[in-house]
Amino acid sequence: MSEQPFTEAERQQAIEDARQRALAAGGQMLTPEQAAAATAPAAADPGLGVGVNQIQAAQQAAPAAGQPLPYEAQMNALMDQLKAQSEQLAAALGRVGDLERHVQAVTAQASAAQGLPYVVRYAQGARDKLLAHAIANADLGGVRLVPSLDQATGETVLRHQAAGHFETVLHDADQLAAAAVAAAKGDAPAQAVVDAAARVTRFIERTHRRLTPKYVDYSAALDDLDAAVEEALKLAPAA
């Protein structure tokens, strides 16, 4: 609230009071001009005016009630940033967990496959590679899924069935895989594996080139066929 200005009578009285106090203190009587300067309002001091202006500017710059202070706003921004980073980290850890579970599943499948006798693994490998060629070369004959009875479990399962170019060789490859399982158990002679592998090899080396000019790289399947025969012969009783 602003102060009311002195009336002329009050100002004159103040000047006179100042002259009397100076005289009573043993000094000289002040001139009217000196007494007026001594009783002038403090706001008349230029230095004081600058200070007042600075205070007013600071008050205007200060945040209104309820608004965060500058350091509080910085802290809030930092907390928001940390929260976003935490959410990103949680999402990344979730993806890592999914990947770990996938790796565990693949490892379990590989471990199960490694438990099979070598003759079975190589025979099934040759069959799977031929099936992959049949699927990749659909222009030579289609491959479809058909229900089939699993002899081992008695359950109905879906199996790939080829038509056209790969139909006969995949049938022979299935017989090769079955012969390998039986030979590994001692339920069939090793010669059954050798004969089935020979039929598949004949298709690769002769029949395929006679039926189509299209090139198919069977080298990996041939390697598995050779290995299956080699492992089957190890199962044969010594003469």
Residue 53's CB: how many other CB atoms inside 10 A? 10
Residues with Cβ < 8 Å from 133, sequence gap 6 or more?
A: 166, 216, 218, 221
Instruction: Give the least confident one: 116-120, 144-148, 201-205.
Output: 144-148
User: Is residue 23's pLDDT more than 80?
Assistant: no
User: Is residue 177's pLDDT more than 90?
Assistant: yes
41 falls in which pLDDT band (50, 70, 90)? low
Q: Where are the domains of the chain?
A: 8-57, 117-235
Q: What percent of the chain has pLDDT over 90?
A: 31
For residue 127, the one-letter residue type is: R
Q: What is the pLDDT of residue 91?
A: 79
Residues with Cβ < 8 Å from 35, sequence gap 6 or more?
A: 14, 15, 16, 18, 19, 22
- Written as six digits, the tokens of 64 are 């209104």
Q: Nearest Cα to 174, choosing from 158, 190, 160, 187? A: 160
Give pLDDT tens digits for 73-126: 788 888 888 888 888 887 777 776 666 666 666 555 655 556 789 999 999 999
Against a cut of 0.85, is the pTM above it? no
Q: What is the pLDDT of residue 44?
A: 46
Distances 71 to 54, 64, 68, 78 between C-alpha atoms, Å: 22, 15, 8, 11
Q: Nearest Cα to 219, choosing from 126, 140, 131? A: 126
Q: What is the pLDDT of residue 103?
A: 60
Position with higher pLDDT, 2 vs 199: 199
Q: What is the pLDDT of residue 36?
A: 57
54-84 burial string, b = 16+ CB within 10 Å, else e?
eeeeeeeeeeeeeeeeeeeeeeeeeeeeeee
User: Is residue 139's pLDDT more than 60?
Assistant: yes
Average pLDDT, the chain: 76
